[in-house]
Amino acid sequence: MWELNTPVPANQTTMDSDAGIFLRRELPNAAGFDGEVADIMMHCYQIPFCLNTARLGYDTPIDAFCMTPNIPRPRSRGQLYLTSKDPKVKPALDFKYFTDPEGYDAATIVAGLRAAREVAKQEPFKHWIKREVAPGPNVNTDEELSEYGRKVAHTVYHPAGTTKMGDVEKDEMAVVDSQLRIRGLKGARIADAGVFPAMTTINPMLTVLGIGERAAEMIAEEAGWRRRDRPVRAYHL
């Protein structure tokens, strides 16, 4: 978070976070299958995003700009616990942040914080900035940045993969098959972010819509509906 030397001009934002940054930190296919997919995502805010910095004692300037590095495809794995046989009782969820054995998540948040600082040094940001508020100019080493990142990290409210798709005959953790059918149940499918076998790099809403559309097609096909090919039209603007 940076304090600005002048207010953001009026009518410059529609939702306070109008831009995103996607970066690739690792070498291509470092995870064996992910090519050059971005592994850092940042939201850019034209307001002081201070939910977690304020509770740590940081200032909250009136005029501020923020970049919030995210780990879109974390390698730490959480756990979902059933706490009752009563389906009305909510389960317990432990995200287990920064617990992956290789330390990928911790290294990625540090890389994201460093990248945000580099972006802030460039125009047009540079001439707007008065000072860095958080993590602050005295937080510079990997260890210091990691400690800060762990303290301010929180969910971005897109949990996924709790009922993953897979080969239900071979993978005991797979809940649904390639047709979204639930293992052991007839006439029931799951069509939401729970079926992700791996996290998406971007916020999952578009992918969830695609899953919903495909689920509707599969259900209709079982009822006898057949897709009709339609011509593709090119529109020139």
pLDDT digits (tens, 9 = 90+) for 50-101: 889 999 999 999 999 999 999 998 999 888 899 999 999 999 989 899 999 9
Residue 232 maps to a domain:
no
What's the predicted TM-score (pTM) here?
0.83
Per-residue confidence (pLDDT) for residue 108, from 0 to 100: 95
H or E stretch at 113: helix 104-120
Rounded CA-CA distance 180/215 in Å is 7
Residue where the block lists tokens 């508020």: 133
Of the residues 152, 174, 202, which one is the last residue of a structural domain?
152
Of the residues 152, 182, 205, which one is the last residue of a structural domain?
152
Which amino acids are annotated catalytic?
158
pLDDT tens digits along 199-230: 888 889 999 999 999 999 999 999 888 877 65
* DSSP for residue 91: P
Domain count of the chain?
Answer: 2
Domain shared by 94 and 185, yes or no: no
Of the residues 152, 183, 218, which one is the last residue of a structural domain?
152
Per-residue confidence (pLDDT) for residue 116, from 0 to 100: 96
Per-residue confidence (pLDDT) for residue 236, from 0 to 100: 47
Per-residue confidence (pLDDT) for residue 201, from 0 to 100: 87
Query: Is residue 234 scored above 60 in pLDDT?
Result: no
Q: Average pLDDT of 173-197?
A: 96
Q: Are 148 and 52 in contact (CB under 8 A)?
A: no
Domain shared by 176 and 139, yes or no: no
Mean pLDDT for all residues in the chain = 90
Q: Is 65 exposed, middle or buried (0-12, 13-18, 19+ CB in 10 A)?
A: buried
Residue 134 maps to a domain:
yes
Residue 39 maps to a domain:
yes
Q: Are 2 and 135 in contact (CB under 8 A)?
A: no
Bridge-partner residues for 21, per DSSP? 42
Residue 231 maps to a domain:
no
Domain shared by 46 and 115, yes or no: yes
Per-residue confidence (pLDDT) for residue 51, from 0 to 100: 84
* Cβ neighbours around 123 below 10 Å, total: 7
Per-residue confidence (pLDDT) for residue 232, from 0 to 100: 54
pLDDT tens digits along 2-11: 999 988 887 7
